[in-house]
């Protein structure tokens, strides 16, 4: 029989991770994956332990995909350095900052204008809606709207290609390098134009971030802050289109949309792992990890752990347990979680309010794909009549 670790290829994990992760939780909760050159940690308690101990599991990994693709940034550092930059960069992403203003004053109108521009007949909702909505939202909050949605999306795609390059394919690394350079140049130009507006970038500068810190961390935001809300919007819409029972529950009590968004984030975990490096020899769940080994805390698997959740594979709008780990659990908990949740919630609400007859196109099978970044590849729909 093939040892379990040998089955853990990127290809297999990207196509259908859940059966493999369930086997890992049951048989080898801390498992070496030779193809990925790292340990996979799959039970909730162990994922939580890795996240809670940055002194044992550092984010400043060596080598680092993140530092290579983005330059040193908050996700390649540990407390206390991390604390300073997060304190500078978090406020614009909170309800009381630029994101709050954006969500109440601009987001519904942005969603509506995209919906009004949908083509007639069949179309892919990911490219016509989820993608532009998340790219334009982040561009408006950061103060990068002058570059246009297409360029924002290309930057995101280019960076993510390299960030998910666990097997170190040199062609994918070259895509990342080109994107890093192009985006760095555009951000330097943006900074040269001045920072006296209400954008998040101007906030960072006015609160003490250096140009290099702004550039590298905005690269991080573009790689993480577009792809994930995009996948979140696609997944929530897909669930609602395939589960009329959930849709009816939400129509009867619209406050449940917030619960659906949380359950979808838990069940699908658009970001699969938090990757760290052991700083010392350490035992985890009875397995010896050596100093220097890379360790992926598999957030997706923690979110499905049968020992932590009741009926983990079901969407339960009245679930009492929480929180989930889709935005991570430790010092690097997602900086944009408030904004990301709002994009997904408002994006889905506006879509169903304006297009009550939205339907999946039965000629296109929906393929949910990816491990480090997971979401529908495409979501073909027909709009039906507008309300
Ligand atoms: C809505 C879907 C989103 C999901 C599921 C998500 C998930 C995550 C996760 C799991 C992490 C931790 C990664 C790790 O520890 O290795 C993270 C970090 C981060 N996210 Fe998000 N994210 C989302 C949206 C956003 C948005 C909209 C932004 C916009 C700026 C953003 C910016 C960041 C940043 C800057 C970090 C690094 C925080 C740090 O290192 O301290 N994310 N995100």
**Ligand 1 atom closest to Cα of 73?**
40
Sheet containing 380-382: which strands, arranged edge to edge?
122-124, 380-382, 359-360
- What is the per-residue pLDDT for 317? 98
For residue 275, what are the β-bridge partners? 296
**Confidence at 215, pLDDT banded by 50, 70, 90:** very high
Least confident interval from 125-139, 171-185, 342-356: 171-185
Query: 167 with 37: CB under 8 angstroms?
Result: no
Residue 106 three-state SS: coil
- H-helix segments, the chain: 10-15, 17-27, 44-52, 65-70, 81-89, 98-105, 107-116, 125, 131-142, 149-163, 170-192, 200-206, 211-224, 227-242, 244-252, 256-268, 299-302, 337-354
> Could you tell me whether strands 375-376 and 273-278 are parallel, antiparallel, or unpaired per DSSP bridges?
unpaired
Distance 375 CA to ligand 1 centre (A): 15
> From CA 179, how far away is CA 177, in angstroms rounded?
5
Both tokens assigned to 32? 């070496």
Contact at 8 Å (CB) between 162 and 175?
yes
| Tokens linked to 173 | 């690394």
Angstrom distance (rounded) from CA 212 to CA 98: 22
Q: What is the pLDDT of residues 250-286, one digit of tens each?
A: 999 999 999 999 999 999 999 999 999 999 999 999 9
Pocket of ligand 1, beta carbon within 6 A: 74-75, 82, 86, 93, 138, 220-221, 224-225, 228-229, 232, 265, 270-271, 274, 299, 326-328, 332, 334-336, 339-340
Mind giving me the DSSP string for 144-200? -GGG-HHHHHHHHHHHHHHHT-TT--HHHHHHHHHHHHHHHHHHHHHHHT---SSSH
Give how far Cα 232 sits from Cα of 47, 191, 326, 357, Å: 22, 30, 11, 21
- 38-41/294-298 β-pairing: parallel
Give residue 25's pLDDT band: very low, low, confident or very high (50, 70, 90): very high
Separation between Cα atoms, residue 14 and residue 17, nearest integer Å = 6
313 CA distance to ligand 1 centroid (A)?
23
Question: Does 387 score more than 70 pLDDT?
Answer: no
Distance of CA 123 to the CA centre of its chain: 24
Burial (CB < 10 A; 0-12, 13-18, 19+), residue 90, is middle
CB 359 within 8 A of CB 384: yes
Q: How far is the CA of 3 from the centre of ligand 1 (A)?
A: 33
Confidence of residue 5 (pLDDT cuts 50, 70, 90): confident
Domain boundaries, the chain: 4-382
Separation of CA 97 and ligand 1 centre (Å): 17
Measured in angstroms, how far is the CA atom of residue 75 from the centroid of ligand 1? 9
Mutating to test ligand 1, I would choose from 275, 303, 330, 337 the residue with most ligand atoms within 8 A of its C-beta, which is 337
Average pLDDT over residues 175-199: 93
pLDDT tens profile 27-67: 999 999 999 999 999 999 999 999 999 999 999 998 887 89
Q: Looking at the domain covering 4-382, what would its CATH class be?
A: mainly alpha
Mutate to test the pocket of ligand 1, among 224, 264, 303, 324 (most ligand atoms within 8 A of CB): 224
């Amino acid at each position: 029989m093939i040892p379990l670790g040998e089955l853990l290829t990127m290809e297999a994990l990207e196509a259908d991770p859940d059966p493999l992760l369930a086997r890992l939780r049951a048989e080898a909760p801390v498992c070496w994956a030779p193809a990925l050159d790292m340990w996979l940690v799959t039970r909730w308690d162990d994922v939580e332990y890795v996240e809670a101990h940055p002194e044992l599991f550092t984010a400043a990994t060596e080598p680092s995909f993140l530092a290579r693709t983005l330059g040193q940034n908050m996700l390649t550092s540990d407390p206390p350095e991390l604390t300073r930059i997060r304190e500078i960069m978090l406020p614009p992403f909170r309800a009381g900052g630029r994101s709050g203003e954006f969500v109440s004053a601009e987001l519904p109108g942005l969603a509506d204008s995209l919906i009004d521009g949908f083509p007639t007949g069949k179309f892919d909702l990911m490219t016509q809606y989820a993608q532009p909505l998340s790219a334009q939202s982040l561009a408006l909050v950061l103060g990068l709207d002058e570059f246009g949605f297409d360029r924002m999306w290309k930057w995101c795609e280019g960076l993510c290609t390299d960030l998910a390059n666990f097997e170190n394919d040199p062609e994918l690394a070259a895509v990342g390098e080109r994107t890093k350079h192009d985006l760095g140049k555009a951000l330097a130009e943006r900074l040269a134009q001045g920072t006296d507006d209400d954008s998040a970038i101007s906030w960072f500068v006015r609160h003490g971030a250096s140009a290099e810190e702004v550039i590298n961390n905005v690269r991080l935001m573009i790689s993480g802050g577009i792809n994930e809300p995009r996948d979140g919007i696609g997944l929530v819409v897909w669930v609602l289109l395939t589960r009329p029972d959930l849709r009816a529950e939400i129509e009867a009590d619209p406050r449940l949309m917030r619960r659906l968004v949380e359950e979808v984030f838990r069940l699908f975990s658009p970001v699969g792992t938090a990757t760290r490096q052991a700083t010392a020899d350490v035992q985890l769940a009875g397995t010896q990890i050596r100093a220097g080994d890379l360790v992926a805390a598999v957030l997706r698997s923690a979110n499905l752990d049968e020992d932590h959740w009741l009926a983990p594979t079901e969407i339960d709008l009245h679930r009492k347990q929480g929180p989930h780990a889709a935005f991570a659990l430790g010092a690097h908990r997602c900086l944009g979680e408030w904004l990301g949740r709002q994009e997904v919630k408002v994006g889905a609400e506006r879509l169903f309010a304006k297009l009550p007859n939205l339907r999946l196109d039965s000629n296109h099978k929906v393929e949910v794909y990816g491990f480090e970044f997971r979401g529908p590849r495409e979501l073909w729909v027909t709009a039906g009549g507008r309300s």
